[in-house]
Amino acid sequence: MLKYTAKRILLAVVTTFLILTLLFIMLQAMPGSPFNDEKITQVQRAALEAKYGLDKPLYIQYFNYVKSMLRGDFGVSYVIQKNMPISELLKVRVPVSLQIGGQAVILGTIIGIFLGIVAAIKRNSFADSFATFVSVIGVSFPSYVFALAMSYFIGFKMEWLPLLYTTSHPFLSTIMPTISMCMFSMATVARFARTEMVEVLGSDYMTLADAKGIPTRRLIGVHALRNTLIPIITVLAPLTMELMTGSLVVEQIFAIPGLGSLLVTAIQFNDYNVVLAVIFFYSIAFILMMLVVDILYGVIDPRIRLAKEERKV
């Protein structure tokens, strides 16, 4: 177990450094310079470059870059809010995005598990077809289709919920974004849960438990459910990535002051420091999520750990 965990952590660290290197190369390759105001003279430009450490050799710049990024010092914003430290910008925006993303994952997973299990127990019934239909729609339609439909009908026509994010109703404003973002997680989890449940229901130990006379409710609620839930952990990491992508668009539609809308604004205004900082933040979040899922899965299900180690050898 120790070896397995160590290996996972090592992979995460290597990936982090790789992303940092990639970001640094990108930073060098970005078109233009942060100081492309025509009024700046050569002397002023040199002074500015010295101030931000851009006159040093490349490897020192790289070293400084990695050091400061890991410390959480992402530099300052050049365009969006001049000279505002990016960590300050992030501090306000991360909780909003985290809240909506978290709500979406939790809601999506719970509904998805429920749908998948009902579909598996009542196979080839109306409930099964319904669950399949919902999951195909959820996987197929991008989250902004739901977001736009809801904001038009529920937000604009009915006026039940705020059309745009307002700080006066922070929770009510998150309902529509959460629902539109959870559809994909829900559909993925439902598909997965159905497949797993069908497999578990057909296994020998379920037949044995049934033969022993365990009541159906206990049979499904205790014996089948647990074994179904374990593999669902593995889809959580790809789902996080999907949610990040979704948040970029959904936050834009509902004007939510989160990480996603910050990234989009930064891209539009060529504020590269902010772009790189948000991307770094996303990557770290994803790497951490993968690490947690991998280790958690190894702890819960020893077969995975053994199989993975065997395959590696």
Partner 1 sequence: MSQGKTVLTDAHFVWAKEHDLGTDQVYDARSFWKDAVARFCKNKGAVFGLVMIVMIIALAILGPSISGYDYRTQEMTQRNLPPHIAGWDNAPIFNGKYEGYNVYEEKGIQDVTHIFGTDTLGRDMFARTWTGARISLYVALLAILIDTIVGMSLGLISGYFGGKIDFLIQRISEILSTIPTTVIVTLLIVVMKPGLTSITIALMITEWIGMCRVSRAQMLRLKEQEFVLASKTLGESTFSIIFKEILPNVFGQIIVMCMMTIPNAIFTEAFLAFIGLGIPAPLASLGSLISDGYKSLTMYPFLVLFPVVVLAMLMLSFNLMADGLRDAFDPKMKEM
Q: Which residues in this chain contact partner 1 in the complex, by CB under 8 A?
A: 11, 15, 18-19, 22-23, 26, 29-31, 136-137, 139-142, 144-145, 148, 151-152, 156, 163, 195, 198-199, 241, 244-245, 248-249, 252-253, 263-264, 267-268, 272, 275, 279, 282-283, 286-287, 290
Q: How far is the CA of 89 from the CAs of 122, 125, 178, 264, in angstroms?
A: 50, 51, 23, 14
Q: What is the closest distance, in whole angstroms, from the C-beta atom of residue 37 to partner 1 in the complex?
A: 21
**What tokens were used for 213?**
């006379």
164, 255 contact by CB (below 8 A): yes
Q: How far is the CB of 153 from partner 1 (least distance, A)?
A: 10
Of 63 and 156, which CB lies nearer to partner 1 in the complex structure?
Answer: 156
Shortest Å, Cβ 290 to partner 1? 7
Q: Is 15 exposed, middle or buried (0-12, 13-18, 19+ CB in 10 A)?
A: middle
Supply the minimum distance, in Å, between the C-beta of residue 110 and partner 1: 23
> Minimum Å distance from CB 144 to partner 1?
7
Whether the Cβ atoms of residue 225 and residue 117 lie closer than 8 Å to each other: yes
Is the Cβ of residue 26 or residue 70 nearer to partner 1 in the bound state? 26
Q: Of the two residues 47 and 164, which places its CB atom closer to partner 1 in the complex? A: 164
Least Å distance, CB 140 to partner 1, is: 4
Q: What angle do CA 132, 136, 137 make, to 5 degrees?
A: 120
Quote the least distance from Cβ 215 to partner 1, whole Å: 26
**CA angle centred on 292, ends 64 and 185, rounded to 5°:** 110
Instruction: Please state the closest distance from residue 213 (CB atom) to partner 1, in A.
Output: 27
Residue 92 vs 136, nearer CB to partner 1: 136
Nearer to partner 1, 40 or 144 (CB): 144
Instruction: Name which of 206 and 253 has its Cβ closer to partner 1.
Output: 253
Q: In a 10 Å sphere around its CB, with 0-12 CB exposed, 13-18 middle and 19+ buried, how is residue 226 labelled?
A: exposed
Q: Tell me whether residue 214 or residue 309 sits nearer to partner 1 (CB atom).
A: 309
Give the chain's end-to-end CA distance (angstroms, integer).
Answer: 15
> Which is nearer to partner 1, 68 or 268 (by Cβ)?
268
* CA dist list (Å): 306 to 175, 238, 290, 294: 42, 23, 18, 13
